[in-house]
Chains A and B, each alone.
Chain A
Amino acid sequence: MRKIFSMIMVALAALFVATSCELASGTDPNPNRANNLLWNRVYTAINLHFEHFLAVAYLNDTLLGKEVDNGGYEQTEVVVNGNIYTINYGSTYYARSYRIKTDGKRLDEGGEWTIYYRESIYEEYGKLGMATGIEGESSKFKLSIDNSVCASHYYAYSYAAESEMEYWYDDVQERRCVKYNTFKGTSSDTSGQKDYMISFEVVEPLVIRASIEEGKIDILYNDNVENTSRSLSVVIVNRSVTFVTTNGSNW
């Protein structure tokens, strides 16, 4: 009887092993995932802002008569129509395009430029933001961007940011580099319900050459549904990123 019972147990164990299978793999525990998620969003917002900055800086340099490369970017074309400048990037049909309407002044004359943007020729231009010059400063201006109106449908989220920067052309790297002295922004979902909000602020100047090289950014995340929050500081030294969680998760 004992023998039979053992045989049954062995048989059932073998059947269990034979029939069990993995339907989907698991995920790895990663205590830094929340920080990475937040930083990825802010990093993307900074990169988008940098792209917009390049277009404005390119036009600024063109109006100043500076013959510089466009910063390693795709072919750039400027079409002038009165005070309206159209800057096209990329291929014919999927060209990103900026339409910048000036008030007749250059940025170093304190000009205020309105920036419109479209992702491809199939889209209409939508207002993206403003560039405000500083009198006497040829390589400093303020840039205010809000993609929630014109470009929210290109991305799964919106972002708005205001920055004040100075930039220069690096002959060695053949690209424009920028130092954001101030940079404040928010990022949220595009639903309009603002279920969450990410706020970020540069607290130590952010330097971008080929990539973000140094700076310190404070990030605050608010879950408006669960009423929870999380804050994080990102310190970048020599392109090396370190997270400092200033307030741990409270959910």
Chain B
Amino acid sequence: MKNIKTILMAFVALWVVQGAVAQVRERTVVKTDSTKVITIVKKHTEFTPKHDIRAGVGTMSLVTSFALDNWGCADCTVRDFRSDMANAETHLTPRMFVGNYSLSYTYHDRRWLSYGGTAVFGASTRWRKDSITGEKIDNLSNYCLSIMPTVRFDWFYREKVQLYSTVSIGVVTDFDEAYPWGDLTLVGCSFGRKFFGFAEVGMGTAGWLRAGIGYRFNATKK
């Protein structure tokens, strides 16, 4: 069992290394048959820098829990009789987390390196409603916005499939106070050439799991 694990890990490591090396080497293929030698030199197309625009949505994370729900205590205000009486004829809707929505732009400068910026907007909604009329009388929703410079490292690059990790460091604000914070994509995968989808596992302001769509186009014409 231990051997299988080791072999499997070695295989994954080799695959990653191979992918990384493949990004930079030029590939030459020589084909022969029994009668004559045919030499085909196939050069890997050169990398063209690209603009990369993405929109995605992410799940809850620790940071958003802090900013949007105060660690589960967004509504833990000290209640007193007077405020209970003042709000007696109202009721609260559930506090709902409605997602982290991200928008990012990166400049894919080299095969392995992109840089740019990311903005993530997260929200939790809650309303106080009049118990008799059902009218919304108070908005108790919380919002947070983070703006972060981003660096993305592609550790497996193909035209259609890329595996990458991302580091972003910036600020998150709940529109009241701002805190320095960041976001880390541990493993991300994009699939598609110009128009693509992506899925990521990470931690930070964008959520534990993120997914979305994007569009990339060449920065310079050939």
A contact residues vs B (CB 8 Å cutoff):
4, 8, 11-12, 15-16, 18-31, 33-34, 37-38, 41, 156-157, 189, 195-196, 221, 223, 225-226, 230, 249, 251
Contact = CB atoms under 8 A, between A and B. Distances in A.
Given A15-B57, A189-B81, A223-B85, A20 B93 contact: no
Contacts of B60: 19, 21
Contacts, number: 101
B75 interface: yes
A223 B86 contact: yes
A15 B129 contact: no
A29 B92 CA distance: 8
Given A20-B97, A20-B98, A196 B85 contact: yes
A16 B81 contact: no
Contacts of B131: 29-31, 33
A204 B30 CA distance: 109
Contact of A196 (B81, B96, B213): B81
Interface in B78-103: 80-82, 84-86, 88-89, 91-100
20 contacts: A4-B195, A15-B99, A15-B211, A19-B207, A20-B97, A21-B96, A22-B94, A22-B95, A23-B69, A23-B72, A23-B124, A24-B69, A24-B72, A29-B91, A29-B131, A31-B89, A37-B81, A37-B84, A223-B86, A251-B86
A33 B96 contact: no
B82 A34 contact: no
A102 to B, nearest CB: 36
Contact of B92 (A20, A21, A26, A249): A26
Contact of B91 (A11, A26, A37, A195): A26
Given A19-B57, A19-B207, A29-B129, A34 B85 contact: yes
A23 B84 contact: no
Rank and list the top 5 A-B pairs by shortest CB-CB distance, nearest first.
A34-B88, A29-B131, A24-B95, A19-B99, A26-B94
A4 B86 CA distance: 51
A30 B91 contact: yes
B143 to A, nearest CB: 14
> Interface residues of B toward A: which range?
35 or more
Contact of B93 (A12, A16, A26, A38): A26
Interface string B169-204: 000000000000000000000000001010000000
Contacts of A27: 91-92
Contacts of B88: 33-34, 37, 249
Contacts of B94: 22-26
Contact of A20 (B68, B96, B197): B96
Nearest to A35: B88
Nearest to A228: B86
B126 interface: yes
Contacts of B58: 19
A23 B80 CA distance: 23
A100 to B, nearest CB: 31
Given A26-B94, A157-B81, A31 B69 contact: no
Nearest to B55: A12
B132 interface: yes
B167 interface: no
Q: Which of B60, B88, B93, B100 has the most CB of A within 10 A?
A: B88
B74 interface: yes
A223 B82 contact: yes
Contact of A249 (B81, B89, B98): B89
Nearest to A230: B85
